[in-house]
């Protein structure tokens, strides 16, 4: 019985010393900047736009073809009475033109640019630390190079972050 009491006292002393050690540690609360990202698939890869630039995701909207538009503008859509242009992102990423009859459209609004952007699928919308976004690789090749503003990891997949302002500068008519 005496050894049980000694063991209890010893365990209480150990617990108390652990508690004191934890209390003595200085707690540093660091606020890190977060940014919302909309991740989507296009041309077989993962891309993203800053969430502040995406006003809504439109599922299965009918695109009305308009003669005389450049190949990267497949037509117009009606968004609650507003007529908006649609940009085929495949053209700028080096892929074949989108063929889905009922595509997913991300409505991009930045400064005076407002347009729907065709994407293959929305993967996720999440908040990430700004520090997780790395500058694009200097060796980045392909048609998307001029649109890229950063890269980050999403699970085991690399995500290329696109700049909607750079996209807007490519499609001004």
| 2 lies in some domain | no
| 143 lies in some domain | yes
154 bridge partner residues? 157
What's the CATH code of the domain at 96? 2.40.50.180
Which pLDDT value is given to residue 165?
92
- What is the phi-psi region of residue 31: left when phi exceeds 0, alpha when psi lies from -120 to 50, beta otherwise? beta
| 4 lies in some domain | no
Which pLDDT value is given to residue 25?
60
Which pLDDT value is given to residue 60?
74
| 132 lies in some domain | yes
Q: What backbone phi and psi angles, to 5 degrees, belong to 86?
A: -125, 130
Which pLDDT value is given to residue 59?
86
Quickly list DSSP for the chain: -HHHHHHHHHHHHHHHHHHHHHHHSPP------EEEEEEEEETTEEEEEEGGGEEEEEES-PPBP-TT--TT--EEEEETTEEEEEEEHHHHHT-PPP--SS-EEEEEEETTEEEEEEESEEEEEEEEEGGGPBPPPTT--SGGGGGEEEEEEETTEEEEEE-HHHHHHHH--
Model confidence over 27-36: pLDDT tens digits? 555 678 899 9
* pLDDT under 70: residue ranges of the chain: 1-8, 23-30, 97-102, 139-143, 172-173
| 125 lies in some domain | yes
| 118 lies in some domain | yes
Number of domains in the chain: 1
* 108 within 8 A of 114, measured Cβ to Cβ: yes
Which pLDDT value is given to residue 17?
76
Full-model pTM: 0.75
Q: Nearest-CA neighbor of 61 among 107, 103, 108?
A: 103
Domain hosting 54: range is 34-171
């Amino acid at each position: 019985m005496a050894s049980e009491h000694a063991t209890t006292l010893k365990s209480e002393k150990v617990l108390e010393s652990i508690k004191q050690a934890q209390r003595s540690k200085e707690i540093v609360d660091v606020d890190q900047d977060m940014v919302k990202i909309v991740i989507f698939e296009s041309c077989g890869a993962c891309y993203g736009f800053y969430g502040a630039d995406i006003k809504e995701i439109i599922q299965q909207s009918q695109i009305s073809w308009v003669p005389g538009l450049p190949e990267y503008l497949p037509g117009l859509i009606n968004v609650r009475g507003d007529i908006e242009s649609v940009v085929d992102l495949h053209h700028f990423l080096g892929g074949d033109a989108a063929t889905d009859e009922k595509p997913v459209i991300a409505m991009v609004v930045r400064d005076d640019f407002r347009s729907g952007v065709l994407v293959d699928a929305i993967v996720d919308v999440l908040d990430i630390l700004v520090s997780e976004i790395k500058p694009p690789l200097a060796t980045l090749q392909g048609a998307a190079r001029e649109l890229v503003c950063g890269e980050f990891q999403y699970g085991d997949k690399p995500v290329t972050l696109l700049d909607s302002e750079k996209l807007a500068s490519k499609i001004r008519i």
